[in-house]
Every structure is written in C-alpha cells, then in structure tokens.
Chains A and B, each alone.
Chain A
Amino acid sequence: MIETLSAPGVASDEGSWERFEALYRSSRSDLYAYVATLLRDPAAAEDVTALAFERAYRRRRTFDRRRGAERAWLFGIARNAALDELRRRKRLARLAVEPDDPAADVADEGAEVTLRRTAVRAALRKLSAREREIVALKFHAGMSNAEIAGLLGVSESNAGTLLHRTMEKLRKECDATT
C-alpha cells in the first residue's frame, strides 16, 4: 500500500502530479477515516481531509523520501491540520458535537453483535484524543506499528505499548458495558 516518490525536483511536474494522484487514490479513504475518528466530527473531518490533500499538493516538491514514506508524510500533514482543528475548537469553547447514536446502523444485526458494537462505540467515546488517534491509525488507516511510531515520533515499542494499553482499556470498558 505504501508508495514512495523519487527525489523532488528530478521528475517533471507531470510526473509529480501523477504520483500525487496515485497517493490520493490510495490514501483518501484511510486519511478521512483517521481524521474523522480523531475529530469525531464528519464535517470538520471533510474540511481537514481536503485541506491536507491540498497542502500535500502544494508541497509535493518539498517531499523528501529520506525522511519517510510518502504516505507517512501525507498523514503527518493531516495530523497537523487535525490538531490545529482541535486547538481551534478549544479556543471556541468546544463546539457542540452531535453525539453518536450507539444503536445506529445496527438494526439489522443480531442482538449479540449489536450489543458488542454498541459497547465498543461507547468505549471509544470514553477514550482520550491520543488514544483515539492510536485506534484510528491502527484500525481505520491500516498503519503498522512502525508507521504509527514514525508518525507520532516515538519508538515502535512505545507505539505498541500505547496500542496495547488502549486495547486493554477498550476491553475493560466493553466488559463493563456488557
């Protein structure tokens, strides 16, 4: 899934555009899922996703593959934009976010599965932003632990530890709910 770019400035403008378009196609859904999970606001997630791609397009010539993969570079841009959005929300005294309905979209599933999904959603809402980010990167963006570590600026073992702790917290919350 991860693609790499050649050194910037070497290829033509059309070549860089093609690589950007390929990156866009391969990462669009994952990026939105990550941002939406982090922000818990679909509208803000759409804005941040669009902004991240636009910034990446503007800065595509500054990409340096020696500093990481292209996908990690794109997610770094999106992360900064999402964190700026979180800061902006904080300055605006927290926008009233429409609470998710834990029972939504599960009407046609079995009772057991419905119960489990409802419990998971409830547990997710209790996670901190940092924990939600780990979940989003791992389960929604499909990143490996090494990629997560690179994006967050921590070691791979540290990223694994953070993920394990978050999973343990979720499991306890789910058990408590059910």
Chain B
Amino acid sequence: MRRLDEYPIDPEVAAALDAIDATLAGDAVDPRHAELAELALLLAAERPEMDAGFADSLDERVERRFAAPQPAAGSGGAHRPLRGWLAPAAGLGSAALAAAVVVVILAGGSTGTHPRSAAPLPAISSGPARASSGSAHAASVPAQALKSASGSASTSASGSPSTSASGSPSTSASGSPSTSASGSLSTSASGSASSAGGSTSSASGSLPTTASGQASSSSAAAQPGPILQPPANGRKIIQSAQLALSTAPSRIDTVAQEVFDVVGQENGIVSSSTVTATGGTGGYAQFQLSVPSSALPQTMAALSTLRYAHVSSRTDTTQDVNDQYQSDVNRLADARALRTSLLKQLANATTQAQIDSLTAQIHDAEASISSDQATLRQLEHQINFSQITLTINSPVPVPVPVASGSGGFTLHTAAHDAGRVLTVAAGVALIALAALVPLALVGALGWWVTATLRRRRREQALDTV
C-alpha cells in the first residue's frame, strides 16, 4: 500500500532540489536556479566547525575506547548498571520459576498422579461379591476391611436369628454405624488378612461390648485369636458367628471337606452349603452351620485353624435373651394354670351353657399353651444351637507392581523412565510458556508504548523549540 507522502514530487520542486544537489557537488546549475544555488552555498558555509580542543579530547576518548565514560548531557550512563543487572535478574527469575514449576509437578506426581508412586496395591484383592448373604471377604487394605466389616454386620442381621430378631445395631470397627430397632448395641471389629503372606491386622475395638446386657458381637482378626465365651452365669444367651476364610483356588474342595469334618466332630449340622470350584481363580463356598452352643468355641477354633485356609474376618455375636426366656416360661405356666382352673370349673359346671363356654375357653387356653411351647422350644433351640455363617473365597491375585530398582534396569524401564522424563519436561515447558508468554506480551506492549511515547515526545521537542 502506498503511503500518502509517496506521491511523485512536483517537477519544479524536483528541479530545485536537483539544482541544490548540483551546487553542493560543484556542478553548474541552470541560471534560473542561481539564487537557490547561492543560498545553498551560503548555508553550506555556515556549517559549524568543531573546536580543536574538543576534537582532540574526543579523539582521546575514542582512542581509550571510552574506558572512563563521562556522563554527558544527562545521558543514560546511570542507566547502564541497571540494564546490566536486568539480564541476569531476568535469567535468575526465569530459572527460579522453572525450578518451582518442576518441584510442584514432581511433588504432585509423587502424591498419586504417578502410577508407580501410588499406594501399593494389596497382594490379594477382595473376593467376588457373590456372597449375597455371606460376609464379604476382607482384604488387607483398610478400605476393604471397612467393606468386610460392613458385610459382616449385614450378614449377622440377615443370617443370624439372634441378631435378626433383635435387629441390634452394631458399630463396626470401621466406624460405620447402623441403627437397630431394639436399641441394643454391639461392637464388631473386623480384621483383615492377606492370603499370600498371612499378614494380619489386628481387630480394632474387637472386645465384645454389651450395652444394657442385651447383645454383643465381636469380629476377630484374621489370625485366630482367643475364642470368646459369654460368662457362665446361667443366663440364657443366643450366640452366632460369621467366619470368612480365604484359600487358594485349588483348595476350595479340600477346605470345604474340612468344614464338614469339623462340624461332624462337634455334632453340628450343616444346614445348607454351596461350593463352587472353578478350577482357577474365583472359587467360592458358603455354609450355614448349626452347632451346639456348648461346642461353639471349639468349633470356631477348629474352623479358624484349618490347614489350607486363612481367616479373613470373624464376627462373634451374642444376645442375652434371659428376660425373654423367663417371660415365655411364665406365660406358658400361666396358660397351663388357666387350663387347670378351667378344667376344674368344667367339672363343677351344671348347665349346658356353662359347659360350652368353659370348653371353648379351655380350647383357647390349650392353643395358647401350644403356641407358647413352640415359641419356647424355638428359643431354647436358638440358645442351645448356635448359627455359624461360613464363607470361603479364593481371591483373585493381583500382580504386585515391581518397585523401582528391585526389578533391575532394563530397556523397557529405561524407555519408560525416559518417556516420563520427557513428559515432565514437556509439561514444565508448557507451564513455563503459559506463564511467560502473557508476561512477554505485556512486556512487549509496554515496551512498544514506551518507545512510541518517547519518539512522540522527541518529535514534539522539534516543534516547540
């Protein structure tokens, strides 16, 4: 695009300018430009000449290459040291910024973004969630222990008649509370174990704490601990337990057979059982056992020390039903006394109406007696036989990540590390660009504005002097 001041110059003006140039060059000019040529010569003669002293002084300074520069005319000499510091300061600031970015990125990567820096995975994962009514398998990490504890509580509620009847809430070791209808409190603790190494974590808060003396449950750690027994004070107590075992996939059948053997030795009953042997990973078995309460400690001890199984979690639950038992006994005695009384009245009855009425009442009393007897028998059965819910899992082993350095230095790891380094470097560069580009743009804009203003002020100086 052509600028406005680039239009061809007027021929007369061009001729005059040529005359000036010719005059200064010593050439002859057209007579019509003689006056202009004379003026040009007079102007050239007015050229100021440098003072000899100043010329010598300047020559000397130049020879010294301005070794000792003297600030002249308010020059920018004072600015040079500042400008000299600018570059190192900017470099230092950029380096500090880059270092800070690197530190932030590396710190962020070590707290979870880096897959290899993440918390180590458990060697054995929790079992498949097939145990809809059984206790879930507890793995070694706390979160899974929490799931296990919760699972044990729910199993207890659904599988254990005592707990189910009372609906007693249990506060598990992981702190997940559940609310019960009866308001009785039991504390359950759950342990966790790794089937690979048998590493255990002890149950936290596993002591059976019985609030109001109604019910309690305790969940033991993976390692078989002391078998909990309620105090032998003659009170009627319903006991139940949930036990989760883990074993190798190929040992599912063996462990199941051991369970049958233990139950038989203790004169117990296998109410139901489900054994699934896949031949590979994911084998699963579930048992609903009923054993004499007197043999519950021995049974639990035997089940907890099976040859090829490890205890993942164990929950012991007790419920004091002494008051309920006494109430049922009294109600039955009352019903029997009522029937005896009615029979006596029937013997003395004189009218047919009295006979019919008493007969009906006796019938009702006998029905009540039958019902009370059934209730009492059921309660006595629950007291005399404890329910055990047993699950056996064969967890899917999770490959343990090889820690850096322990697996040796290979081309693969080197390539991985190199890629990681390049990724981090690219990230650092990107972040640095994101921070520096706006700053550079602002700086460039500021420089442009400053330069424009300075140039304009300088031009204004020509107009005002």
Which residue numbers of A lie inside 8 Å of B, CB to CB? Answer: 17, 21, 24, 28-29, 32-33, 36-37, 42, 44-51, 53-55, 57-58, 80-81, 83-90, 116-117, 120-121, 124, 128-130, 133, 135, 138-140, 142, 144-145, 154-155, 157-158, 160-161, 163-164, 167, 170-171, 174
Contact = CB atoms under 8 A, between A and B. Distances in A.
A50 B61 contact: yes
20 contacts: A29-B49, A32-B49, A44-B73, A45-B48, A48-B72, A57-B65, A83-B459, A83-B461, A87-B458, A90-B464, A116-B38, A120-B46, A130-B463, A140-B47, A145-B17, A157-B8, A157-B9, A160-B9, A164-B13, A170-B43
Nearest to B47: A140
Nearest to B14: A160
A135 B43 contact: yes
A46 B54 contact: yes
A119 to B, nearest CB: 9
B465 interface: yes
Interface string B36-64: 10111011111111110011001001100
B86 to A, nearest CB: 15
Interface in B437-465: 457-459, 461-465
A14 B7 CA distance: 45
Contact of A167 (B20, B74, B463): B20
A53 B62 contact: yes
Contacts of B62: 21, 24, 53, 57
A86 B43 contact: no
B73 A51 contact: yes
A58 B39 contact: no
A90 B461 contact: yes
Contacts of B43: 120, 124, 135, 138-139, 170
B5 A87 contact: no
Contacts of A133: 462
Contacts of A170: 39, 43
B46 A164 contact: no
B24 interface: yes
B37 to A, nearest CB: 11
Contact of B44 (A42, A49, A139): A139
**Taking chain A's interface residues, is the majority helix, strand, or loop, or is none over half, making it mixed?**
helix
B72 A51 contact: yes
B13 A161 contact: yes
Interface of B: 3, 5-9, 13-14, 16-17, 20-21, 24, 35-36, 38-40, 42-51, 54-55, 58, 61-62, 65-66, 69-70, 72-76, 80, 457-459, 461-465
B65 A84 contact: no
B39 A171 contact: yes
A138 B3 contact: no
The 3 A-B residue pairs with the shortest CB-CB distance in the complex, in nearest-first order: A83-B458, A36-B48, A158-B5
B72 A50 contact: yes
Contacts of B46: 37, 117, 120-121, 124, 139-140
A170 B16 CA distance: 14
Contacts of A144: 21
Contacts of A86: 458, 461-462, 465
A44 B20 CA distance: 30
Contacts of A142: 24
A28 B81 CA distance: 27
A139 B40 contact: yes
Give the one of B21, B74, B463 with max A CB within 10 A. Answer: B74
A49 B61 CA distance: 12
Contact of A28 (B5, B13, B44, B58): B58
Contacts of B42: 116-117, 120
A130 B462 contact: yes
A60 to B, nearest CB: 11
B66 A54 contact: yes
A155 B47 CA distance: 25
A131 to B, nearest CB: 9
B455 to A, nearest CB: 9
Contacts of B50: 28-29, 32-33, 46, 49
Given A28-B50, A37-B47, A129-B462, 18 more contacts: A28-B55, A46-B50, A46-B51, A50-B58, A53-B62, A54-B66, A83-B458, A85-B74, A90-B461, A117-B46, A120-B39, A120-B46, A130-B462, A139-B46, A157-B9, A161-B13, A163-B20, A174-B39
Nearest to A165: B13
A155 B5 contact: yes
Contact of A53 (B14, B44, B58): B58
A21 B39 CA distance: 34
Contact of A32 (B14, B20, B48): B48
B463 A160 contact: no
B16 A167 contact: yes
A157 B47 CA distance: 25
A102 to B, nearest CB: 11
Nearest to A46: B54
A158 to B, nearest CB: 4
B72 A129 contact: no
A14 B465 CA distance: 41
A159 B318 CA distance: 110
Nearest to A30: B47
Contacts of A28: 50, 55, 58
Contacts of B36: 167, 171
Give the one of B21, B50, B69 with max A CB within 10 A. Answer: B50
B73 A48 contact: yes
A47 B70 CA distance: 10
Contact of B465 (A80, A84, A89, A174): A89
A63 B16 CA distance: 35
A149 to B, nearest CB: 9
A90 B465 contact: yes
Contacts of A50: 58, 61, 70, 72
